[in-house]
Amino acid sequence: MLTDFIDKYSTATITLAQTTFMHLEVEGAHLFRIDFEEKVEAKLKPGRGGVLAHHTTHPLLSHYNDDKTEVYINSAPDDPAGLYEGIQEVIARNPQEWRDGEASCFKSDFTTIKSDYTTGDGTIKEVLIQGRGKLISLAPPSIASAVLAACDKHGVATKAFTHPSSYHPHQYSLLSIGPYYVIAFGFSVRKLQ
Provide the pLDDT for residue 104: 36
Question: 11 and 49 share a domain?
Answer: yes
Provide the pLDDT for residue 127: 85
Question: 108 and 141 share a domain?
Answer: yes
d(CA 111, CA 186): 30
pTM over 0.75: no
Q: Which domain holds residue 114?
A: 68-163
Q: pLDDT at residue 90 above 60?
A: yes
Could you read off the pLDDT of 37-80 as tens digits, one per residue? Answer: 999 999 999 999 999 999 998 878 877 887 888 889 999 999 99
Question: 19 and 93 share a domain?
Answer: no
Going by pLDDT thresholds of 50, 70 and 90, the confidence category of residue 18 is very high
The alpha carbon of 150 is separated from its chain's Cα centroid by a whole number of angstroms, namely 20
User: What DSSP letter does each residue of 140-185 carry, written as one string?
Assistant: -HHHHHHHHHHHHHTT--EEEEEE-GGGS-S--EEEEETTEEEEES
Q: pLDDT at residue 124 above 50?
A: yes
Provide the pLDDT for residue 112: 39
End-to-end, the C-alpha distance of the chain in Å comes to 17
Question: 155 and 174 share a domain?
Answer: no
Question: 79 and 143 share a domain?
Answer: yes
User: What DSSP letter does each residue of 80-110 carry, written as one string?
Assistant: HHHHHHHHHHHHHTSSS----HHHHHTT--G
Question: 86 and 49 share a domain?
Answer: no
d(CA 20, CA 17): 8
Q: pLDDT at residue 102 above 60?
A: no
d(CA 172, CA 133): 32
Question: 75 and 40 share a domain?
Answer: no
Question: 150 and 97 share a domain?
Answer: yes
Question: 45 and 97 share a domain?
Answer: no
| C-alpha dihedral sign at 22, 27, 31, 37 | negative
Could you read off the pLDDT of 156-173 as tens digits, one per residue? Answer: 999 998 877 655 556 899
Domains: count for the chain = 2
Residues 154 and 85 sit within 8 Å (Cβ to Cβ):
no
Going by pLDDT thresholds of 50, 70 and 90, the confidence category of residue 109 is very low
Question: 116 and 95 share a domain?
Answer: yes
d(CA 111, CA 74): 23
Mean pLDDT for the stretch of residues 174-185: 95
The alpha carbon of 105 is separated from its chain's Cα centroid by a whole number of angstroms, namely 18
Partnered with residue 170 across adjacent β-strands are none
Indicate the DSSP class of residue 46.
Answer: T
Provide the pLDDT for residue 170: 62
